[in-house]
A and B are shown apart, each in its own frame.
Chain A
Amino acid sequence: MAIKNLSKQKKDCGRKEDYSMPGSAKTMEIGNEQSEEAHTMPGENMSNEDISGMPSGGMGSGNMSGDKGNELSSGMPGGNMSGDKSSMEGDKGDEASSGMPGGNMSGDGDGGGDDGGGTPRSRSCATMDVHRQLLSRYPFYARARDEIENLAYQYAINPEVVQRPGVTRIPIVVHVVWNTPQQNISDTQINSQIDVLNRDFRRTNPDVNNTPAPFLPLTADARIEFFLANVDPNGAPSTGIDRRQTTVTSFSHDDAVKSQSTGGADAWPADRYLNIWVCQLGGGLLGYAQFPGGPVTTDGVVILHSAFGTTGTASPPFHLGRTATHEIGHWLNLNHIWGDDGTGCSGTDNVADTPNQAGSNTGTPIFPHVSCNNGPNGDMFMNYMDYVDDPAMLMFTAGQVTRMQACLDGPRSLIGIEAGAPRQSSSPVVAWGANRLDVFVLGSDRALYHKWWNGSAWGPSVTGYEAMGGVCTSSPQVVAWGPNRLDVFVIGTDSALYHKWWNGSAWGPSVTGYEAMGGVCLGDPRVVSWGPNRLDVFVIGTDRALYHKWWNGSAWGPSVTGYERMGGVCIGQPEVVAWGPNRLDVFVIGTDRALYHKWWDGSAWGPSLTGYERLGGVCMSAPRAVAWEANRLDVFVVGTDGALYHKWWDGSAWGPSLNGFERMGGICVGQPEVVAWGPNRLDVFVIGTDSALYHKWWNGSAWGPSLTGYEAMGGICTSMPRVTAWGPNRLDVFVTGTDSALYHKWWNGSAWGPSVTGYEAMGGVISSF
């Protein structure tokens, strides 16, 4: 992967424009209220019931009315079965980067997704001789290591290129491989280790304040947190603890503990989990690690059980969990602070802000300990990457943090994002990575148009669009199953489904071409990706049943143009969300306007292939669902009184009840939009009867501005709000205005841009969004 030279400019810098939408009243008050937060929406009836069933919610059967219960893998009714046209009808074959018809023709022709950035440079610093010897024996590993070091060097000289914002949360699986009952350490001991990691990698360990004064300013927050995985590789709920009894009385440093065939436990997929093996180790060894770039089956760290955590079998002087901190440092590409050259002064840890140091320190050294002319402050022996006792190590430096972040952006780029990360349903707006946005609209000619934010500028220009061909009858639905990957689905004039994709370097099948996927669809498709190279598409057929097709990484199921029939008689658009790998939750509205639910648990559809769980209500909008963590669902609909209603799955039951909804006030037009930028966080956007945008949020403990209140965000909107969050505490909202142009506003973590009620004008004449 080429090194990206992303400039870390914040997008709200240098944006002076502060547009209000056309026709927008310039005030943010509703009626005569003061412009404080906590507005109610116009027309809102002020009844304050917190948790109610929705008005006239019926209690019907568990299956949707009219469900014909047909079997899987049929073509859709009326489906055009002839089709492998690779272009949609009416495709005019326009090329990239034009302004939209009737739009501002200011496209600057800067086509394509991202810029490749600078070329890799060789690292000029010395490396460890021992390591080099190993490298020469394993050429493949050597090549991978070279790339990793080139990236780390780029980051070291230019730390602003770090891509991950905020805190990366890494799922851990702890393989407890035990021979004697004592070695079968308790959950408490395991949790005590996780707690240590979450302090040490966030610089919240109290003993960081014992850092000698000259080194204290160098201490840094690594912005990494860890948690026991709550989903296993197959998508099943998990404790993140894998216990295996073994006949092996003591393991060596030969990786035997990492394979069931040699008495250990097999690794979970290393691209998604940090594997930690805890066992009896011989030879007085406390632990060992594997650097990034090595074989996936042995990736992770191994820790002696009595050097793991802070309680149970943990024994002084290695009883503070620092062995795991040190080994995970290696796993994130940190080298020993003395440079792994024995006791010489020529080795380097490839980090600039650690002093040159001769050999390892042990025990509890007295500051300063001078070597290699590094006085007066001497060795940074209190660094986690020296060999001192647990109570004596307490800090990472900023340079080490940059090196770890380079590892997270490079060789470990999938971890902490892919594992168990809930996936939102498709939308015309998607963010495939931090500080990246892709927006798709239909122009007045109903062709598809695209614009993107690359971290520093809008492409092809602020108000320009890339023309992508086609004549579409649905709003575009986009998902990103990985970085720099887009899959776009639309319905054509023949009501069939069409697909195109961005593979990181080019559009397939072509910039303006489409893959024909058959079917005769009503309304918009819905797409979700529960993992890398996986797509699940849901559409409503002419018989109003739900239909499903999927991409498994190598082929479309049940076939390129075929669909699996999933029963039901549905009104409007389905909604689908994936709270973890190999997990799907689908929501539809039935002919009785109640909400219905079905789910894929990794092996079967529940309650059955064509059956549905009835969740009550009388819904006047399509449902919108989001999962802010594994086994958590929040569903929003609009009721017959126009108010917003909410229900949730907490992992064991539906709240407020199976058929009940929480009433959230307002009088909403159209479908609500909801995103979760982090755990236990929800942001809901609706359009009011005055066509303005309104916002409310769940902050983990309460609804803001109040349970039934809304923050007024101005505008006169002609589309539902489309919102995405590319990082923690970040929101980007898109709507169309009365002039059919696109408008944008954003929350940067502390303020709304361009203002609470203002919008950035993004051009275009949009017919569907």
Chain B
Amino acid sequence: MNQASIQGSWTHSFEEDQGDVQVYRPTHSFAFPPARGRDTLEFGEGGELIKQVPGPDDRPRSLRGNWTALGMNRFRLEGTMDAPGQVIEVVEQTTSVLKIRKI
């Protein structure tokens, strides 16, 4: 697993969560069933992070921040409103799934 592979847009497929492991799927290729709202994490090439969350009126809202690789499959997500200095651990990743755990 390398740093580049986390890049791209991943959307929370919460129906597949297992305990504290959250399952994300590729935003643009996975057939998500309808939901009241889903979180999306978009990891940019240069370390920029765009997090989409459902807003107070259920429209998706974009929050901007940064991500940095800490090594050991851990990443720091910073600058978004609801996740200041959050660290996640990637527990599994393929081209079709990203499983993470909040540390």
Interface set of A (CB-CB < 8 Å, partner B): 128-131, 133-134, 253, 283-291, 304, 306-307, 315, 318, 323, 326-327, 330, 335-336, 340-344, 360, 362-363, 387
> Which residues from chain A contact B54 at a C-beta distance below 8 Å?
360, 387
Measured CB to CB, the closest approach of chain A to B102, in angstroms, equals 9
25 of the cross-chain contacts (CB-CB < 8 Å) are: A130-B56, A131-B55, A253-B58, A283-B60, A284-B35, A284-B38, A285-B60, A286-B58, A287-B36, A288-B57, A288-B58, A291-B57, A304-B34, A307-B34, A323-B36, A330-B58, A335-B56, A340-B56, A342-B53, A342-B82, A360-B54, A363-B14, A363-B15, A387-B37, A387-B54
Instruction: Taking A286-B36, A344-B82 as given, write out 7 further A-B residue pairs in contact, using a Cβ cutoff of 8 Å, ordered by the A residue number.
Output: A129-B82, A283-B60, A284-B32, A326-B58, A335-B56, A360-B36, A363-B14
B46 CB–A CB distance under 8 Å? no
> Which residues from chain A contact B58 at a C-beta distance below 8 Å?
253, 285-289, 326-327, 330
Interface set of B (CB-CB < 8 Å, partner A): 14-15, 32-38, 53-61, 63, 81-83
> Which residues from chain B contact A340 at a C-beta distance below 8 Å?
55-56
> Which residues from chain A contact B56 at a C-beta distance below 8 Å?
128, 130-131, 291, 330, 335-336, 340
Closest residue of chain A to B35 (Cβ to Cβ) is A284
Measured CB to CB, the closest approach of chain B to A462, in angstroms, equals 49
Instruction: Tell me the complex Cα distance, A129–B60, Å.
Output: 15
Picked from B33, B57, B59, the residue with its CB within 8 Å of the CB of A284 is B33
> Which residues from chain B contact A284 at a C-beta distance below 8 Å?
32-35, 38
Let me know if B14 and A362 touch, CB within 8 A: yes
> Which residues from chain B contact A343 at a C-beta distance below 8 Å?
82
Let me know if A387 and B81 touch, CB within 8 A: no
Instruction: Tell me the complex Cα distance, A519–B10, Å.
Output: 75
Closest residue of chain A to B15 (Cβ to Cβ) is A363
> Which residues from chain B contact A129 at a C-beta distance below 8 Å?
81-82
Name the residue among A128, A134, A288 with the largest chain B CB count within 10 angstroms: A288
Interface of A is mostly: loop
Measured CB to CB, the closest approach of chain A to B67, in angstroms, equals 17
With A343-B82, A362-B14 known as contacts, the answer to whether A306 contacts B57 (CB < 8 A) is no
Instruction: Tell me the complex Cα distance, A335–B56, Å.
Output: 6
> Which residues from chain B contact A291 at a C-beta distance below 8 Å?
56-57
Instruction: Tell me the complex Cα distance, A686–B44, Å.
Output: 80
> Which residues from chain A contact B53 at a C-beta distance below 8 Å?
130, 342
Instruction: Tell me the complex Cα distance, A288–B34, Å.
Output: 13
Measured CB to CB, the closest approach of chain B to A753, in angstroms, equals 46
Name the residue among A253, A290, A306, A343 with the largest chain B CB count within 10 angstroms: A253
Instruction: Tell me the complex Cα distance, A307–B34, Å.
Output: 9
> Which residues from chain B contact A344 at a C-beta distance below 8 Å?
82
Picked from A289, A323, A342, A363, the residue with its CB within 8 Å of the CB of B57 is A289
> Which residues from chain A contact B36 at a C-beta distance below 8 Å?
286-287, 323, 326, 360, 362, 387
Number of A-B contacts (CB under 8 A): 76
Let me know if B34 and A341 touch, CB within 8 A: no
Instruction: Tell me the complex Cα distance, A200–B35, Å.
Output: 21
> Which residues from chain A contact B35 at a C-beta distance below 8 Å?
284, 286, 362, 387
> Which residues from chain B contact A327 at a C-beta distance below 8 Å?
58
Let me know if B61 and A290 touch, CB within 8 A: no
With A341-B82, A342-B82, A344-B82 known as contacts, the answer to whether A130 contacts B38 (CB < 8 A) is no
> Which residues from chain B contact A336 at a C-beta distance below 8 Å?
56
Let me know if A130 and B61 touch, CB within 8 A: yes
> Which residues from chain A contact B38 at a C-beta distance below 8 Å?
284
> Which residues from chain B contact A285 at a C-beta distance below 8 Å?
34, 58, 60
Measured CB to CB, the closest approach of chain B to A379, in angstroms, equals 15
Instruction: Tell me the complex Cα distance, A531–B61, Å.
Output: 39
Picked from B32, B34, B60, the residue with its CB within 8 Å of the CB of A318 is B34
Closest residue of chain A to B11 (Cβ to Cβ) is A284
Closest residue of chain A to B37 (Cβ to Cβ) is A387
Measured CB to CB, the closest approach of chain B to A754, in angstroms, equals 50
Let me know if A342 and B81 touch, CB within 8 A: yes
Instruction: Tell me the complex Cα distance, A652–B7, Å.
Output: 66
Let me know if B59 and A253 touch, CB within 8 A: yes
Closest residue of chain A to B62 (Cβ to Cβ) is A130
Instruction: Tell me the complex Cα distance, A343–B56, Å.
Output: 14
> Which residues from chain B contact A290 at a C-beta distance below 8 Å?
57
Name the residue among A283, A323, A343 with the largest chain B CB count within 10 angstroms: A283
3 A-B pairs with the lowest CB-CB distances in the bound complex, closest first: A342-B82, A253-B59, A387-B36
Instruction: Tell me the complex Cα distance, A327–B55, Å.
Output: 12
Closest residue of chain B to A289 (Cβ to Cβ) is B57
Instruction: Tell me the complex Cα distance, A89–B60, Å.
Output: 66
Instruction: Tell me the complex Cα distance, A315–B34, Å.
Output: 10
Instruction: Tell me the complex Cα distance, A344–B81, Å.
Output: 10
Let me know if A330 and B14 touch, CB within 8 A: no
> Which residues from chain A contact B57 at a C-beta distance below 8 Å?
288-291, 330
> Which residues from chain A contact B63 at a C-beta distance below 8 Å?
130
Instruction: Tell me the complex Cα distance, A387–B53, Å.
Output: 13
Measured CB to CB, the closest approach of chain A to B100, in angstroms, equals 14
Measured CB to CB, the closest approach of chain A to B64, in angstroms, equals 11
Let me know if B59 and A286 touch, CB within 8 A: no
> Which residues from chain B contact A360 at a C-beta distance below 8 Å?
36-37, 54
Closest residue of chain B to A344 (Cβ to Cβ) is B82
> Which residues from chain B contact A307 at a C-beta distance below 8 Å?
34
> Which residues from chain B contact A362 at a C-beta distance below 8 Å?
14-15, 35-36
Instruction: Tell me the complex Cα distance, A129–B58, Å.
Output: 15
> Which residues from chain B contact A306 at a C-beta distance below 8 Å?
34
Instruction: Tell me the complex Cα distance, A362–B54, Å.
Output: 13
> Which residues from chain A contact B60 at a C-beta distance below 8 Å?
253, 283, 285
Instruction: Tell me the complex Cα distance, A307–B58, Å.
Output: 14
Let me know if B83 and A342 touch, CB within 8 A: yes
Instruction: Tell me the complex Cα distance, A131–B35, Å.
Output: 21
Let me know if A130 and B55 touch, CB within 8 A: yes
